[in-house]
């Protein structure tokens, strides 16, 4: 015989918990606990940024984040960093977990090393947190827009880089794509 029952006969605890009802857990010695039926939260899946989206910077320096890339709620923070490439600067946008992973990698370099200190200083002074608004937009820092060749009321390309995404000037992105030298041999690492 099952020693644990919900107070609503015939309903399992999962169903009761989903409805937000209270439950009574009964064991062989009587009532063990009373209170709301609580189900553990399912682990959240990590967000991946795939594909390419043409967008436009509006007159307030805001750019729309594609719906499939948006974090759970408005008010979430992202970190924007100017990112140097062979074809000029773009903006790399990090969810906070990925930004912290990058910082931890830098901090794992030997204490006092010139490279470690310079990287931390460069990332610290050149990065900025931005907040996703209720419409799913972020406001790009003005100085970063200039460095990346982005303009108000102009098109941009949002490029998924799996765990982060980039915001590109369309001409720079086209030049980058045209010169990509990846061939079949490059894919041997991924199977």
Number of other residues whose CB lies within 10 A of the CB of residue 79:
20
Residue 127 has pLDDT above 80, yes or no: yes
Once rounded to an integer, what is the mean pLDDT over residues 135-157? 97
Candidate from 2-6, 26-30, 106-110 with smallest mean pLDDT: 2-6
Task: Specify the pTM.
Answer: 0.72
- Beta-bridged to residue 180, according to DSSP, are none
Residue 178's pLDDT band, with cuts at 50, 70 and 90, is confident
Domain 52-180 has CATH 3.40.1550.20: yes
State how far the Cα of 169 lies from the Cα of 82, in Å rounded to an integer.
Answer: 12
Once rounded to an integer, what is the mean pLDDT over residues 75-83? 94
| Three-state SS at 180 | coil
Candidate from 15-29, 52-66, 75-89 with smallest mean pLDDT: 15-29
Can you give the residue ranges of every domain in the chain? 1-39, 52-180
Residue 182 has pLDDT above 50, yes or no: yes
The DSSP secondary structure of 36-86, one letter per residue, reads E---PPPPPPPP-B-SEEEEE--TTSEEEPPGGG--SSTT-EEEEEEEEET
Residue 5 has pLDDT above 50, yes or no: no
List Cα–Cα distances, 91 to 7, 45, 83, 141, 148, in angstroms.
56, 25, 5, 10, 6
Residue pair 173/154 in contact (Cβ under 8 Å)? The answer is no
Distance of alpha carbon 86 from the chain centroid: 25
Average pLDDT score over the chain: 81
């Amino acid at each position: 015989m099952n020693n644990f029952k919900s107070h609503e006969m015939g309903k399992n605890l999962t169903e009761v918990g989903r409805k937000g009802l209270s439950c009574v857990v009964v064991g062989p010695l009587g009532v063990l606990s009373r209170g709301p039926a609580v189900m553990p939260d399912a682990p959240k899946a990590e967000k991946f940024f795939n594909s390419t989206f043409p967008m436009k910077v509006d007159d307030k320096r805001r750019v729309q984040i594609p719906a499939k890339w948006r974090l759970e709620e408005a008010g979430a923070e992202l970190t924007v960093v100017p990112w140097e490439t062979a074809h000029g600067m773009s903006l790399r946008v990090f969810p906070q977990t990925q930004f912290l992973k990058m910082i931890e990698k830098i901090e794992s370099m030997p204490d006092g090393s010139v490279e470690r200190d310079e990287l931390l200083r460069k990332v610290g002074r050149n990065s900025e947190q931005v907040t996703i608004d209720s419409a799913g937009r972020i406001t790009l820092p003005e100085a970063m827009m200039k460095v990346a060749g982005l303009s108000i009321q102009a098109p941009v390309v949002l490029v998924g880089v799996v765990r982060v995404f980039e915001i590109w000037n369309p001409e720079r992105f086209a030049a980058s794509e045209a010169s990509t030298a990846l061939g079949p041999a490059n894919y041997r690492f991924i199977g």
